[in-house]
């Protein structure tokens, strides 16, 4: 990408982000009830989108070549275990990342 293309991409991301933040204030007057379908999506969409994002992060992992996704699997296990144990977001993220860095640099 050229610098101009990069700036345009950033601009598009800003536009998309601001659309999601401003839209409710533009389309839903505060004195009227929110449509049921919108409320339903608000309840169920986040869980599904976070699932999509986890898969997105792992999209380049190949089970049949290289390290067979083992460093990823182990480190995600560490993240989950730390998080269920202490429920400290930063500890879980830092612990899992350090674990992954050690695995790919020293073991695999």
Partner 1 sequence: MDNSIVRAGYGRAAYRWREKRGTLKKAFAAAFPNTIPIFAGFWFLGMTYGIYMNVSGFPFWYPMLMSLTIFAGSMEFVAVNLLLGAFDPLQAFTMTLMINARHLFYGISMLDRYKGMGWKKFYLIFGMCDESFSINYTAEIPEGVDRGWFMFFVNLLNQFYWFFGSTLGGICGSFLRFDTEGLDFVMTAMFVVIFLEQWLKDTSHVSALLGLGISLLCRIAFGVDDFIIPAMIGILGVLTLIQKPLEEGGAAG
Using CB under 8 A as the criterion, which residues of the chain lie in contact with partner 1 when the complex forms?
1, 5-6, 8-10, 12-25, 28, 30, 34, 37-60, 71-72, 75-76, 79-80, 83-84, 89-90, 92-94, 96-97, 100-105
- Minimum distance from residue 65 beta carbon to partner 1 (Å): 14
CB count within 10 Å of CB 93 equals 13
- Minimum distance from residue 68 beta carbon to partner 1 (Å): 16
> Taking the CA of residue 37 as centre, how many other CA atoms within 13 Å lie in the half-sphere pointing to its CB?
0
- Minimum distance from residue 58 beta carbon to partner 1 (Å): 7
Backbone angles phi, psi at 39, to 5 degrees: -60, -40
Answer for the pair 79, 96: CB distance below 8 angstroms, yes or no: yes
């Amino acid at each position: 990408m050229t610098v101009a293309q990069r700036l345009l991409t950033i601009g598009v991301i800003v536009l998309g982000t601001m659309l999601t933040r401003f839209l409710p204030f533009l389309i839903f007057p505060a004195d009227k009830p929110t449509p049921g379908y919108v409320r339903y999506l608000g309840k169920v969409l986040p869980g599904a989108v976070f699932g999509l994002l986890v898969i997105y992060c792992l999209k380049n992992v190949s089970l049949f070549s290289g390290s067979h996704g083992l460093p990823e699997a182990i480190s995600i296990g560490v993240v989950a275990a730390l998080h269920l144990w202490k429920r400290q977001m930063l500890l879980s993220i830092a612990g899992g990342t350090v674990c992954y860095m050690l695995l790919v640099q020293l073991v695999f």
